[in-house]
Amino acid sequence: MKNFTWLLAIILFGIQYCEAQGPPITADKPIMLGGGSFTAKTLTEIRHTERGDFTYVPVMLHYLPTSNSLVAIHLPYINYDIENGPSGSSLADIKIMGKYQFFRKDGTGKTFRMVAKTLQTLPTGRELDVMDLSTGKYAGYYGIVAGYESLKYGISNELGYNWVPDGSLDALTHKIGFGLPLLKPQYPNKQINLYFEYTNSWLVERDWYQLLYAQGIQYARKNVTFDLAVQVPLVNDIEAGRKLNYSLFLGSRYSF
Amino acid sequence: MKKSIIISALLTLMVVFSAVAQEGKDKFMVQVDGLGCPFCAYGLEKKFKEFKGIKNVKIDIETGDFSFSYPAEKALTLADVEKQVEKAGYTPITAKVERANGEIEESSASEMTKKSEGTVSKNVMVAGNCAMCEARITKAAESVQGVSAVSWDKDTKIMKVSFDAGLTSLEKIEKQVAVAGHDTKNHQAHTDDYGNLPACCKYERLSYK
């Protein structure tokens, strides 16, 4: 019940501020940059938990067949060191993503968009039971991403459900990210953006709940961005010995 | 002294060449909505780079003002520009072109900001013979604002057109095709327009009751 109250509070908070910039770091965005374009990106996550340390390095390729649709493939590699357990490196779970923008409302210097999203996780990784990284299980995620972006600030909001055939990693997830540009908007692009991102995750069957906060900074120049974020738990209501200490994210993306 | 003369001559030539180059360009100005961040402007510019020969691209993201110049001989239409803005994922509000010959064309804001009533698809008979006819018919229909897709089958003589009912109508599209010289089910092409067609495109004219 306590978990549900937290989740509800964050969702309501998100909706209330659903008029708030930028491509987020740990969250997702509903804005797509023109049909026929590609983005190559990576977002390395160094995750420290009570159970062990994990370094996750995905190589992602996003393609927009049209201005309102996206397909992507994520090829990840993981290095793991589990206390009193295995350690090593291997391919992690490959992911295939699809997005379709079904709503768009544009104004001068601002836009609001909504996107339906699916992320299919293939069981190509080792069964490390590390959600989002390497589970060795098929998973289907279905969600909605809504975001408002203006030249002064931006917000992205995502609500979705992750389904796993055996139910062990079924999860209701909500993410909300706020972006604040520190430089005056200019074109050609030169930006430094601050991000404040929250992730709520409730593993239904295990009844685990986490509220994570990520503080990020992003440098963007022309069609390249560099991202840095630190994520820490605000609520860590999961099994003892499994709690998250912190995660460090290092990313870059290139659009062409 | 000799050097000064050469430099002066070179500068004069540069100015002349530059002026001639500008003369051959149409200058487009579009107001675009939805540019919420500098990356959006990048997406817009990238999409317009598909227009080979585009120059002097300027985007003011605060006002949404987007301008560029384009070779006049390519006869780029405002409808093409608006479509490209849509393909980039943004909304064109007003568009204006200053043609190299001094003519000015504008799309009114009220027309372009009409609420979309959804895309409809219609079939209509259009007379024609060959692949050249097909190219002419589809080009004419596509030039109508609001048309998203057109095809014409030379065997069945049926044109299939998809358009936004809030922006245009089948009648307007048929009229435009008739102006290109092709009889449609409801609009006969003017004799002069028909007469301007190449010999291979001289189809058997439709009869109207």
What pLDDT digit, counting tens, does each position of A221-255 carry?
A: 888 999 999 999 999 999 888 899 999 999 999 98
The ipTM is 0.76
Count CA atoms within 13 Å of residue A91 on its CB side: 11
CA pair distance A162, A214, nearest whole angstrom: 21
CA pair distance A73, B172, nearest whole angstrom: 44
Chain B residues lying within 8 Å of A24, measured CB to CB: none
CA pair distance A202, A235, nearest whole angstrom: 11
- What is the rounded average pLDDT of the residues B183-200? 89
Chain A residue with CA closest to B50: the answer is A36
CA pair distance B51, A12, nearest whole angstrom: 45
Which of A107, A188, A223 is facing B33, going by the closest CB pair?
A107
Report the number of secondary-structure helices (H) and strands (E) in chain A. Answer: 1, 13
- What is the rounded average pLDDT of the residues B202-207? 87
Q: What is the pLDDT of residues A75-103, one digit of tens each?
A: 999 999 998 889 999 999 999 999 999 99
Mean pLDDT, all residues of chain A:
87
Count CA atoms within 13 Å of residue B205 on its CB side: 13
Per CATH, which fold does A2-255 belong to?
Answer: Porin (2.40.160)
CA pair distance B196, B86, nearest whole angstrom: 34
Residue scoring higher pLDDT (B96 or A163)? A163
Interface list for A 24-43 with B (CB within 8 A): 31-37
CA pair distance A228, A220, nearest whole angstrom: 12
pTM given for the model: 0.67
The pLDDT assigned to B12 comes to 56
The pLDDT assigned to B75 comes to 82
Helix (H) or strand (E) holding B174: helix B170-179
The pLDDT assigned to B80 comes to 87
- Predicted confidence (pLDDT) at residue A132 exceeds the cutoff of 70: yes
The pLDDT assigned to B112 comes to 52
The pLDDT assigned to A213 comes to 94
What are the respective helix, strand and coil percentages of chain B, to the nearest 5? 40, 25, 35
Residue scoring higher pLDDT (A11 or B77)? B77
CA pair distance B172, B174, nearest whole angstrom: 5
Q: What does the CA dihedral B133, B136, B138, B140 come to, rounded to 10 degrees?
A: -140
Chain B residue with CA closest to A20: the answer is B36
Of the candidates A32, A14, A6, A43, the residue with the CA atom closest to the CA atom of residue A156:
A14
Q: What is the pLDDT of residues B120-172, one digit of tens each?
A: 778 888 999 998 999 999 989 988 888 888 889 888 888 988 888 778 888 88
A185·B89 Cβ contact <8 A:
no
3 state DSSP class of B10? helix
CA pair distance B133, A236, nearest whole angstrom: 69
Is A191 in contact with A219 (CB distance < 8 Å)? yes
B88 forms bridges with which residues in the sheet?
none
3 state DSSP class of A227? strand
A185·B61 Cβ contact <8 A:
yes
Residue scoring higher pLDDT (B192 or B207)? B192
The pLDDT assigned to B5 comes to 67
- Predicted confidence (pLDDT) at residue A212 exceeds the cutoff of 50: yes
Tell me the one-letter amino acid at A131: M
Strands B55-60 and B65-71: antiparallel
Q: What does the CA dihedral B141, B143, B148, B154 come to, rounded to 10 degrees?
A: 30
Mean pLDDT, all residues of chain B:
82
Burial class (CB in 10 A: 0-12, 13-18, 19+), B117: exposed
Strands A38-49 and A52-66: antiparallel
Beta carbons within 8 Å of A216's beta carbon, 6+ residues apart: A24, A25, A26, A194, A195, A196, A197, A227, A228, A229, A230, A249
- What is the rounded average pLDDT of the residues A122-129? 91
The pLDDT assigned to A100 comes to 94
Chain A residues lying within 8 Å of B66, measured CB to CB: none
CA-based end-to-end distance of chain B: 82
- How far apart, in Å, are the Cα atoms of A58 and each of A23, A81, A90, B104, B108? 18, 18, 12, 52, 48
The pLDDT confidence band at residue A211, using thresholds 50, 70 and 90, is very high
What is the set of domains in chain B, with CATH numbers? Answer: 24-112 (3.30.70.100), 119-201 (3.30.70.100)
Is the minimum CB–CB distance between A151 and chain B shorter than 8 Å?
yes
**Chain center to CA of A90:** 22
How close, in Å, is residue A152 to chain B by CA atoms?
9
Residue scoring higher pLDDT (A184 or A43)? A43
Phi, psi (5° rounding) for residue B80?
-65, -40
The pLDDT assigned to A246 comes to 94
Which of B40, B63, B88 is facing A108, going by the closest CB pair?
B63
- Predicted confidence (pLDDT) at residue A36 exceeds the cutoff of 90: no
DSSP assignments along A126-173, one per residue: ----BTTTB-SS-EEEEEEEEEEEESS-EEEEEEEEEE-TTSTT-EEE
Q: What is the pLDDT of residues B25-70, one digit of tens each?
A: 889 999 888 888 888 888 888 889 888 889 888 888 888 889 999 9
- What is the rounded average pLDDT of the residues A36-53? 92
Interface list for A 70-129 with B (CB within 8 A): 101, 104, 106-111
- Predicted confidence (pLDDT) at residue A54 exceeds the cutoff of 90: yes
Chain A residue with CA closest to B39: the answer is A189
The pLDDT assigned to B109 comes to 52
Phi, psi (5° rounding) for residue A11?
-65, -45
Q: Report which DSSP code applies to B167.
A: T
The pLDDT assigned to A184 comes to 84
